[in-house]
Amino acid sequence: MSPRRPRAARRSPNRPKPGGPETPDDRSRSPSPQPPASPLPSTPFLVRELPTYLDHLAVERGLSAASVAAYRTDLSAFGRFLAERRLPATRVARADLGRYLSSLRARGLSARSASRALSAVRGFYAFAAAHLGFAEDPTADVTNPKVGLSLPKALAEGEVESLLAAPDTATPLGLRDRAMLELLYASGLRVSELVTLKTVHVSFVECALRVTGKGGKQRLVPFGRSAGTWLAKYLEAARPGLDRKRSPHLFLSARAGPMTRQRFWQLIEGYGRAAGIASALTPHSLRHSFATHLLEHGADLRALQMMLGHADIATTQVYTQVSRSRLRRVYDEFHPRAGARKDGPRKGGARIGPGRRRAKMSE
């Protein structure tokens, strides 16, 4: 008789679900295994020209690893397209780029994603003409697909307060999460900038962070009293217990490693559900909220550009569109001649009818 096989251990009811609060027993949650991609064809573009361009982006232009990886993904797809047609990168014509864009849209890519892919190809050919001896730039007369203006979605101030209050600050990990959320909303950092902060980048004297953003550019970003209070509590009461490896990083995981973008994304989704926020929530939602709320309370656009780390103020101006739409609603509701109200203007907080207004005008 064969020995009885032991039963599999039952899942503990207290074990957190993905996206819920982290515990010290949590294992790093990597995405489900994906089928391996087919190997890249051995073409001059994929073997020599593309790696040379990626090295240029990383070393000479100082792009982040995430940005270089995005260029690699887009341009590798372009390389596969060329390989399938046995077309060298040096002989690509405008019509070929049109067919490439059509293939992207046929795969279900949005106009924004197709535009980004074309921008990557455009950047490569500008580099190739200057450094690789390419005779022509086929992207010179190609226009990017039209992309509608996508306004950033900001949370209401009440929703932000609910989100900030969601972590259980009686636990070290909840205290860490409250400090991260407070700092993200107080400074408008990108999530990659937040998780790469080190303890030496925080100045409580100046109430400012020294942040390294896109392209390796550094900037000073202020933070307020509330964020400073929660950050100090985390550093005093929670971080020492998490720092078992003497890490320089500011925010640490339960396993003593640096917090990752993916894990923080899961956490903020979980806290958004706990706070009763119906809309989809990402770390960038707090960055959008930071910018929108500052503008609504009278912040200067140029100062906001510096805090957000935008190279071009046109990128920052998209937030004025959000504030402008809200301003329109306020105007329509409260201006006496906006035409939105039919029961007369206000006087001292009370409404007065048309007859009373005529009497006042004749006095």
Token pair belonging to 168: 């259980």
Q: What is the mean pLDDT of residues 257-278?
A: 94
Q: CA angle, corner 353, sides to 351 and 354, nearest 5?
A: 140
Give the model's pLDDT for residue 323. 58
More confidently predicted of 356 and 312: 312
SS3 assignment, position 344: coil
Report the C-alpha gap between 56 and 68 in whole angstroms. Answer: 10
More confidently predicted of 352 and 22: 22
- Give me the sheet containing 218-222, strands edge to edge: 202-203, 208-212, 218-222
When mean pLDDT is compared across 25-34, 51-60, 113-122, 328-337, the lowest value belongs to: 25-34
The CB-side HSE value for 69 (13 A sphere, CA atoms) comes to 3
pLDDT tens track for 301-327: 888 888 888 877 877 777 766 555 555
The catalytic residues are: 190, 214, 284, 287, 310, 319
- Write out the residue limits of the CATH 1.10.443.10 domain(s) in the chain: 158-279
Exposed (0-12), middle (13-18) or buried (19+): which is 325, by Cβ within 10 Å?
exposed
| DSSP 8-state symbol, 237 | I
Our measurement of the distance from residue 216's CA atom to the centroid of its chain's CA atoms, rounded to an integer in Å, reads 17
Q: What is the mean pLDDT of residues 350-354?
A: 41
Give the model's pLDDT for residue 294. 87
Measuring CA to CA, which residue among 93, 174, 205 is closest to residue 139? 93
Superfamily of domain 158-279: Intergrase catalytic core (1.10.443.10)
pLDDT tens track for 222-236: 999 999 999 999 999
- Contact present, 278 and 165 (Cβ < 8 Å): no
Q: Which amino acid appears at position 25 of this protein?
A: D
More confidently predicted of 76 and 278: 76
- Write out the residue limits of the CATH 1.10.150 domain(s) in the chain: 44-131
Residue 56 host element (H or E): none
- Model confidence at 33, pLDDT cuts 50, 70, 90, reads very low
Report the C-alpha gap between 264 and 181 in whole angstroms. Answer: 10
Q: In percent, how much of the chain has pLDDT > 70?
A: 75
Report the C-alpha gap between 133 and 119 in whole angstroms. Answer: 20
Report the C-alpha gap between 196 and 179 in whole angstroms. Answer: 15
> Token pair 């550094």 is at which residue?
218
Give the model's pLDDT for residue 9. 41
- Model confidence at 349, pLDDT cuts 50, 70, 90, reads very low
> What does the chain come to in residues?
363
Q: What's the Cα-to-Cα distance from 111 to each of 77, 107, 144, 243, rounded to whole Å? A: 16, 12, 9, 45
Q: Is 0.75 topped by the overall pTM?
A: no
Give the model's pLDDT for residue 360. 37
pLDDT tens track for 85-116: 999 999 999 999 999 999 988 888 888 888 89
Report the C-alpha gap between 168 and 173 in whole angstroms. Answer: 8
Give the model's pLDDT for residue 26. 40
Q: What is the mean pLDDT of residues 2-19?
A: 42
Q: Which stretch, 145-154, 155-164, 209-218, 304-313, has highest mean pLDDT?
A: 155-164
Please give the CATH topology (third level) of the domain spanning 44-131: DNA polymerase; domain 1 (1.10.150)
Report the C-alpha gap between 6 and 8 in whole angstroms. Answer: 6
- Model confidence at 300, pLDDT cuts 50, 70, 90, reads confident
